[in-house]
């Protein structure tokens, strides 16, 4: 462990919604290891949800977020002025594994430097001989934290997030006890990761026929889908588009998690919402095509994974409706 540590910089490339949720145990663990240090989070290439959507979740954990910090955009950076000129940190933790990016991060003035790039060759902290990087990004970060802090950080079975009572009360008012609610999350940060909307609607129609209530969780990048869902499924609920919730909470992730706590099951693409559903405890059917489940698994033990590769392709359209219905049925038996 680095003693007398008053300032820490964590370098990432960027943080999308799912990334940010998966990185929370690392950020929380870092704060636990260094409770008095000032922690700065640097998104070197782009933006971080810790400065926006997930800002409430890192209050008291991260002191400052710097976006578009000019690290990791092009190799020519290595021949320019140092990043964050004028700043110096007791500890810099680079989470990247690309050598030249880590080399650029290492140019930030520091006392100690940690990085997994090039088998930790640039790092002041190195694992025991024979170490292999885990497949899961979350475990990779926790391993790095263990090296730096000199203590164990187990992989969390679930992520504990404080949900304000106002959020839970509003979720309960919108989804009162009694009906069987099933969440459907048809969106994702990238459209290639999206199972066709028509197939989500087909799942919803089956749920209605079985007496369940489909609840579509539609975030801003897919708002144009709301009208189509309403037109096809008058019985469906779209809480994040309802003025009673949207005007009070917007797209606060804590509201989505509060809604997730009221679901008997959920179906989602590989997305940030999938991770929120898992945090909320909803038994989850997770759909994967071009992305790898093992690298970004949601934090839940109640999960059925349906892969396009099992049906002969990488495109999400390879996944048939029947396979998802079978996965939902399997969840109900666990």
Residue 13 CA neighbour count, 13 Å, CB half:
11
pLDDT band at 307 (very low <50, low <70, confident <90, very high): very high
Task: Supply 286's token pair.
Answer: 């997770």
pLDDT band at 334 (very low <50, low <70, confident <90, very high): low
- Mean pLDDT of the region 308-330: 96
Distance CA 171, CA 263 (A): 11
Predicted confidence at residue 157, as pLDDT, reads 84
Q: Is the pLDDT of residue 38 over 90?
A: yes
Tens of pLDDT, residue by residue over 46-69, are 999 999 999 999 999 999 999 999
Domains and CATH numbers, the chain: 7-149 (3.40.50.2000), 165-333 (3.40.50.2000)
Burial class (CB in 10 A: 0-12, 13-18, 19+), 94: buried
Predicted confidence at residue 140, as pLDDT, reads 97
Share of the chain above pLDDT 90, in %: 91
The interaxial angle of helices 272-279 and 17-33, nearest 10 deg, is 50
Predicted confidence at residue 332, as pLDDT, reads 80
**Residues sharing a CB contact under 8 Å with residue 258, sequence separation 6 or more, in sequence order:** 163, 167, 168, 170, 171, 280
pLDDT band at 1 (very low <50, low <70, confident <90, very high): low
What pTM does this model have?
0.92
Tens of pLDDT, residue by residue over 170-211, are 999 999 999 999 999 999 988 999 999 999 999 999 999 999
Predicted confidence at residue 86, as pLDDT, reads 86
């Amino acid at each position: 462990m680095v003693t007398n540590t008053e300032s820490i910089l964590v370098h990432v490339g960027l943080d999308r919604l799912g990334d940010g949720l998966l990185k929370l145990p690392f950020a929380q663990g870092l704060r636990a290891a260094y409770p008095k240090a000032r922690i700065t989070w640097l998104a070197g290439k782009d933006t971080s949800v810790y400065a926006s959507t997930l800002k409430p979740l890192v209050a008291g954990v991260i002191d400052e977020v710097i976006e578009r910090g000019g690290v990791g955009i092009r190799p020519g950076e290595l021949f320019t002025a140092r990043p964050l000129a004028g700043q110096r940190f007791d500890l810099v933790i680079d989470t990247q594994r690309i050598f030249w990016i880590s080399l650029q991060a290492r140019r930030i003035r520091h006392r100690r430097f940690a990085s997994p790039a090039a088998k930790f060759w640039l790092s002041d902290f190195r694992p025991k001989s024979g170490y292999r990087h885990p497949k899961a990004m979350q475990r990779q970060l926790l391993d790095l934290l263990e090296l730096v802090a000199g203590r164990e950080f187990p992989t969390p079975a679930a992520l504990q997030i404080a949900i304000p009572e106002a959020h839970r009360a509003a979720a309960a008012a919108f989804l009162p006890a009694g009906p069987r609610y099933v969440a459907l999350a048809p969106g994702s940060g990238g459209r290639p990761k999206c199972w066709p909307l028509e197939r989500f609607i087909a799942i919803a129609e089956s749920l209605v026929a079985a007496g369940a209530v489909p609840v579509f969780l539609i975030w801003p990048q897919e708002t144009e889908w709301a009208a189509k869902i309403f037109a096809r499924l008058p019985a469906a609920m779209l809480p994040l588009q309802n003025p009673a919730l949207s005007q009070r909470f917007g797209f606060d992730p804590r509201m989505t998690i509060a809604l997730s706590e009221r679901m008997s099951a959920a179906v989602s693409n590989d997305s940030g919402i999938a991770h929120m559903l898992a945090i909320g405890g909803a038994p989850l059917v997770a759909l994967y095509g071009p992305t790898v489940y093992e690298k970004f698994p949601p934090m839940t033990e109640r999960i059925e994974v349906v892969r396009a590769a099992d049906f002969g392709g990488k495109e999400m359209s390879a996944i048939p409706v029947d396979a998802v219905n079978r996965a939902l049925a399997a969840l109900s038996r666990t």
